[in-house]
Chains A and B, each alone.
Chain A
């Protein structure tokens, strides 16, 4: 008799967590109905999309062209939707939506190195040991009823280890980016076929009854937080189709592009729409030490069309105003064109772009000199950018983390946000 009581009471306990049960229920519903995807799930919640141009895109062939100079390369500059502002002709679609973008042409990160740059541009610091943007924002914007992972990092498979540098650091494994490689769902989301549902129920019954007894007279925090992870696992399993881009329409697949970057961005959109706080997409192969101009034609063609499709979609769904889009790489490329027709690593004067939540659209901030060899106006440090991202998302970047009694400034105290860029 006692055992029946216990088993029942642990069940009651489970359903009494109304917050959770409710959330899980609505998740289950959303996994059935595709219509839910037509509307943003949580319109108020702020989100982050980082498009990382790995290898280092050339600012000359993108945001800061210098046509007709000895450093400018062969391409023309074209007019954009911001009067008087020109960008490279390799971004024709983007030129038409420039009024939605916030361009910084005066980044001086001074780190001409892939490993260090990947970390520094994402963490806003050159000193190691800090969380990257996605992990930081996942932590800082976390809400108690969040079920989905806070940070998901999407990329195609590739051998280059430096693309994975940077992580949650002292924030802990919970904020580490869930890696999606080649658009494969994360591991362990599907129960093995060999396990029957009755067995799963039995396992849960035993687990919960044991926890219920174990809790008596003991510190219940670790016991409850452990139990919660199983509820989260259930919810995530029910919602696993948020990772499945085959559910997106054929025309969307075409619009985003069938290449890796297009498909990755399509997944990114799906995840953002499902309520994931931070998504990063890595676009590879910008490291053009040889044949820079040929490479940038290919890279830019992919990037240009996909970016515009993505921003259009986010804007149309009313998501852009709550989603900060950050477009950067780990560095820019040298003004000098080497004898293989390439541009090399360069951190002294290059460009990055933002759009959406919290930033002023249609602005070009800072400039470089005539040959693009130095910053001319409004130099921007990488720490300043990190502060600016956080502020754009409504986070006070002067605060500290306080984790396990350790405090840590969330952004480099020696840097500050760029107010002119903030909406």
Chain B
């Protein structure tokens, strides 16, 4: 993308900034759990503005939301019922811990970070020089299953040339961008530091004072010597040359400059002097990517993921917050600069500090957010919603399901995930086979069958390649898909072991309605809804018609906003 400058700040936001700058700055208390710190800060602001938050979410709202956010899929009817009927007062915390322990946590985080870090790009050569999707996904899933700290992940992603066996796949970030230095510069800035320096490629950004051409070329210098080395059909490597100066000229002022590698907030890193003919540890050749004696890229991998690099810690804190709370405290996520201040600076400072103090522990960070009342608000309020200022967290946001969440939730709601895994279980029992792979890894492979069934979902619901995921922007093509697409309608067919067949075998309409609503909307139906079901089935005595009617009920609920949104 492009030259994107500041928000138009409402005068209202200035007031807030002033209010909190005047109040004595509370140091973050290391002994107070993060979720309490978050709630304290949020309620401090709410009371300063004299607005009251919505109630805590109902258990029905909570169970659906937390499954979607932490496991990437709605709960089954059984899982929802189990939680709703549990009388224990700490059942929310228990569920949160359970969801983090599920293999689905690692798998769903792998999907989220796949989309975040590749932005659904397609490499120039298609699959030819790219890392295969399964290899990349299993790198990500293994990282999240082992709760690898974020700084370590970034070090691996930026440091690998694609050959290290233990982190195979990590070079996807480079490969999917064809190892193209300008694209890499921009996306290293956007995705790891939260700064879109695009405009500064050609000139100092006229809108954003903080983004200078020298900053852009400071990062560019790290990756300028890189290129793709298509070694063999087995995969290509990221190759680095040993020489190349970095110069730039402004298209506006014709002023030019030269730079060595430079990260925001840090010192320039001049190249060491290297004797002639000793520039390479391994000389590059047609079949050899080569290794330079001094690698600017290794410097990048070493120095960027550190608290001293401006933006590094703040970016990940803000992105993970957005994952749970719809928007970043700085939003858009890649526009951290003075003209676009955080909606709540003290809150972002707190999150950032926690990240650094806790060694970039992603799982624990998300867990703290999930435990907060701020996260657990209801999306229902009878306050005038238009008058609630942004960033006060009075009411839970209503978000669209991502393409991936939608695909898995449709599979879940129809019972196809359960059906598939029951079949695998029974096959395993009969064959007596067992696998040495970790559970997440087995599932990653087994899930491919279900993903294939729903590939058309991604085509219909995914955003555009190379663009960050945007808010909820439904389009007509998607409605047409959910109405008419034969691959989608295939999923609604009746087969043994699916929710539909369970419903059609249930004669008691109350039980049937409950199963239907728990399967699709993770809640029990209200009285009106049960009556609707009764009325619709009253005219459907013939078995075939009854089945069709049940199918229509499921289909209608799948098409409802309540299903389509995370609320």
- A211–B463 contact, CB under 8 A? no
* B67 nearest CB across to chain A (Å): 18
Interface size of A by CB at 8 A reads 69
Q: Mark B317-355, 1 if CB is under 8 A from A, else 0.
A: 000000000000001100100001000000000000000
Q: Mark A217-234, 1 if CB is under 8 A from B, else 0.
A: 111101101111110110
**Does any Cβ of B come within 8 Å of A301's Cβ?**
no
Name the B residues within 8 Å of A215 (CB-CB): 561
Q: Given A207-B559, A213-B528: A408 and B552 within 8 A (CB)? A: no
- A130–B464 contact, CB under 8 A? no
- B473–A173 contact, CB under 8 A? yes
Q: Mark B1-19, 1 if CB is under 8 A from A, else 0.
A: 1111111100000000000
Considering only residues 187-232 of chain B, those with a C-beta below 8 Å from chain A are 198, 201-202, 206-207
Q: Given A169-B464, A170-B467, A229-B475: A3 and B7 within 8 A (CB)? A: no
Name the B residues within 8 Å of A195 (CB-CB): 489
Considering only residues 381-414 of chain B, those with a C-beta below 8 Å from chain A are 381-382, 385, 395, 398, 400
- Cα–Cα, bound, A167→B7 (Å): 25
Residue of B nearest to A205 (CB): B556
Name the B residues within 8 Å of A203 (CB-CB): 552, 555-556, 559
- Cα–Cα, bound, A316→B395 (Å): 57
- B475–A222 contact, CB under 8 A? no
Chain A-chain B contacts (Cβ-Cβ < 8 Å), number: 190
- A172–B7 contact, CB under 8 A? no
**Does any Cβ of A come within 8 Å of B293's Cβ?**
no
**Does any Cβ of A come within 8 Å of B146's Cβ?**
no
- A173–B552 contact, CB under 8 A? no
**Residue picked from B7, B206, B471, B561, most chain A C-beta under 10 Å:** B561
Which residue in B251, B331, B340, B531 is a CB contact (below 8 Å) of A2?
Answer: B531
Name the A residues within 8 Å of B385 (CB-CB): 218-220
Q: Given A127-B202, A219-B385: A209 and B532 within 8 A (CB)? A: yes
Considering only residues 51-105 of chain A, those with a C-beta below 8 Å from chain B are none
Residue of A nearest to B483 (CB): A233
**Does any Cβ of B come within 8 Å of A214's Cβ?**
yes
Residue of B nearest to A209 (CB): B532
Name the A residues within 8 Å of B484 (CB-CB): 188-192, 237
Name the A residues within 8 Å of B478 (CB-CB): 229
Considering only residues 98-131 of chain A, those with a C-beta below 8 Å from chain B are 127-130
- B561–A230 contact, CB under 8 A? no
* A10 nearest CB across to chain B (Å): 11
* B516 nearest CB across to chain A (Å): 10
Q: Mark A145-172, 1 if CB is under 8 A from B, else 0.
A: 0000100000000000000000111101
**Does any Cβ of A come within 8 Å of B254's Cβ?**
no
- A210–B562 contact, CB under 8 A? yes
* A324 nearest CB across to chain B (Å): 24
- Cα–Cα, bound, A58→B531 (Å): 71
- Cα–Cα, bound, A346→B183 (Å): 25
* B555 nearest CB across to chain A (Å): 5
Which residue in A219, A222, A229, A407 is a CB contact (below 8 Å) of B4?
Answer: A407
Q: Given A129-B1, A192-B489: A230 and B559 within 8 A (CB)? A: yes
Considering only residues 396-415 of chain A, those with a C-beta below 8 Å from chain B are 402, 404-409, 413-414
**Does any Cβ of B come within 8 Å of A206's Cβ?**
yes
- B464–A222 contact, CB under 8 A? no
* A177 nearest CB across to chain B (Å): 11
- A207–B474 contact, CB under 8 A? no
Name the B residues within 8 Å of A1 (CB-CB): 531
**Does any Cβ of A come within 8 Å of B536's Cβ?**
yes
**Does any Cβ of A come within 8 Å of B495's Cβ?**
no
- B480–A189 contact, CB under 8 A? yes
* B557 nearest CB across to chain A (Å): 6
**Does any Cβ of B come within 8 Å of A176's Cβ?**
yes
- B485–A188 contact, CB under 8 A? yes
- A174–B485 contact, CB under 8 A? no
- A188–B483 contact, CB under 8 A? yes
**Does any Cβ of B come within 8 Å of A290's Cβ?**
no
**Does any Cβ of A come within 8 Å of B431's Cβ?**
no
- B565–A223 contact, CB under 8 A? yes
- Cα–Cα, bound, A7→B470 (Å): 33
**Does any Cβ of A come within 8 Å of B150's Cβ?**
no
**Does any Cβ of B come within 8 Å of A199's Cβ?**
yes
- B535–A3 contact, CB under 8 A? yes
Q: Mark B532-562, 1 if CB is under 8 A from A, else 0.
A: 1001100000000000110111011101111
Name the A residues within 8 Å of B548 (CB-CB): 196, 199
Residues of B at the A interface (CB closer than 8 Å) are 1-8, 183, 198, 201-202, 206-207, 251-252, 331-332, 335, 340, 379-382, 385, 395, 398, 400, 463-464, 466-467, 470-481, 483-486, 489, 526-529, 531-532, 535-536, 548-549, 551-553, 555-557, 559-562, 564-565, 567
In addition to A6-B528, A176-B464, A207-B559, 8 A-B residue pairs with Cβ atoms within 8 Å of each other are A127-B201, A130-B2, A169-B1, A169-B464, A188-B480, A237-B483, A405-B7, A407-B4
A–B complex contacts, Cβ < 8 Å, 26 sampled: A1-B531, A2-B531, A127-B198, A127-B201, A127-B202, A129-B198, A129-B466, A169-B2, A172-B464, A172-B470, A187-B477, A188-B477, A191-B483, A191-B484, A200-B483, A207-B559, A210-B557, A216-B380, A218-B379, A218-B398, A223-B565, A225-B472, A229-B479, A237-B483, A408-B3, A409-B3
